[in-house]
Amino acid sequence: MRFFSTNPFDNKVVKKISGHSLGELQDILRRAVQEYETWKKTPVISRSKYLQSVAAILRAEKSRWASLITLEMGKPIKEAEVEIEKCALVCDFYSEKAPDWLNDEKIPSEASSSFISYEPLGVVLGIMPWNFPFWQVFRFAVPAIAAGNVVLLKHASNVPQCALAIQEIFQKAQPGYIFQTLLINNRRVRRVIEHPAVKMVSLTGSDRAGAEVAALAGRNIKKTVMELGGSDPFIVLEDANLKSAAETGLRSRMQNAGQSCIAAKRFIVVPEVRDKFIEMMAELISKIKVGNPADPATEMGPLASENQARAVMKQIQQSVRAGAKIVIGGKRLSGKGAFVQPTLLVNVKPGMPVFDEEVFGPVACVVDARDGEEAIQLANKTHYGLGASLWSEDIEKATRYVRLINAGNVFINAMVRSDPRFPFGGINRSGYGRELSIHGLREFVNIKTVWIT
């Protein structure tokens, strides 16, 4: 079993990496259990210091880690550096907050003493995607480790160098098996989920992958947290600040070449501002600098793989045949890389792939709504429910609408983003459970009632 590290800028294989044998996998699982017996007894203050060391290593070699992201999945180097800094920030956040959040919580009762204890679960398996190859891992691993668990990572197969680099970072901070990467195929992932050593699974990925993993974990009575896909609405009402909405909408849709679960994907616009909004978006899209992601001047690189580029083009072409219209883009870029032109589609309606499915590429889709009420109905016409953005200068009205949108994260006059201070996650086919904040930390603990007569 081998893993291939391929540069999507030119589709050249840059490294081949051998996977773990069955014997090596069994040894890792055994060592992880042994590590947990020590780590769970380690004072939370010591765990916090460990996370501070991890943050320092991230920052000290930021250029090295960011370059791996750019190499393996085509993210522009400036965006990759921001991703590394965000990983360091989440380490800072939990190193500060975990000691208080994991303290025993005293509950008044008729007992002589009663409290809630927050205790680790054991070995946690993370199954993570390639689009934010460092951040997605740190987002689940840091609170899990802070809570006293040890972590195993099954990363996406196209980012093996990133997966091993993350292991190196955690092991530089403290040698051992607090964090370990598994270089295994999907068949062996099933064996790991079923293994008695693993107590919980956290997955970020597609709803299809989430359904399969959740079913397997459920059959083995193991807790799961699922952060799955999204088809996020970006609602623009008649009283919106159009300049700010267009600029923010472009950034939300096109960052990471559109490969983000919480990217704005369906721009739902009312008639009063439709034409002007489309004009502004088209002009902004035309100015995007597409090219070599290793060049600091590049604003958009290739998609992460040829398969991803072909999938996005198929969604565009099928939607155009169904009546959508291309305003700008809509083609592959010449060359050998996995490039798709930044694209703007209008006349998009329910039933088209770009409306119904998650489009993981640089494709902005404008959907017409008669008014704000229909805009909310169209926003909710999806199997997903991850994020949503709503634009209006009437904050009272916008706040009323927010409560009608089916999503785990709703932002007024701003783009949807994750922040360690707030819980992050979705509903419906966007998953369940929460990451980040105190809620994300407590996903990884046994919430134990203690009563002393």
Q: Residue 82: which residues within 8 A CB-CB, separation 6 or more?
A: none
Distance of alpha carbon 29 from alpha carbon 21, whole angstroms: 12
Here the tokens at position 61 are 């070699």
Tell me the residue length of the chain.
Answer: 453
User: What's the Cα-to-Cα distance from 232 to each of 100, 205, 452, rounded to whole Å?
Assistant: 34, 15, 48
DSSP assignment of 289-339? -BS-TTSTT-SB---S-HHHHHHHHHHHHHHHHTT-EEEE--SBPSSSS--
Give the residue carrying structure tokens 């802070």: 146
DSSP letter assigned to residue 158: T
Active site residues: 227, 261
CA distance 370 to 321: 24
Q: How many CB atoms lie within 10 A of CB 229?
A: 24
For residue 378, CA distances in Å to 56, 281, 283, 404, 406 come to 45, 20, 26, 12, 11
Q: Which residue has the tokens 């891992």?
A: 137
What residues have CB less than 8 Å from 322, skipping those under 6 apart?
349, 351, 352, 353
Question: Could you tell me the two tokens for 436?
Answer: 């980040």
Exposed e or buried b for every residue in 169-183, given b needs 16+ CB within 10 A? bbbebbebbbbbbbb
Helix (H, G, I), strand (E, B) or coil at 229: coil
CA atoms within 13 A on the CB side of 103: 8
Question: Position of tokens 């990572």?
Answer: 153
Distance CA 163, CA 180 (A): 9
CA dist list (Å): 297 to 250, 293, 294, 339, 361: 18, 8, 9, 17, 20
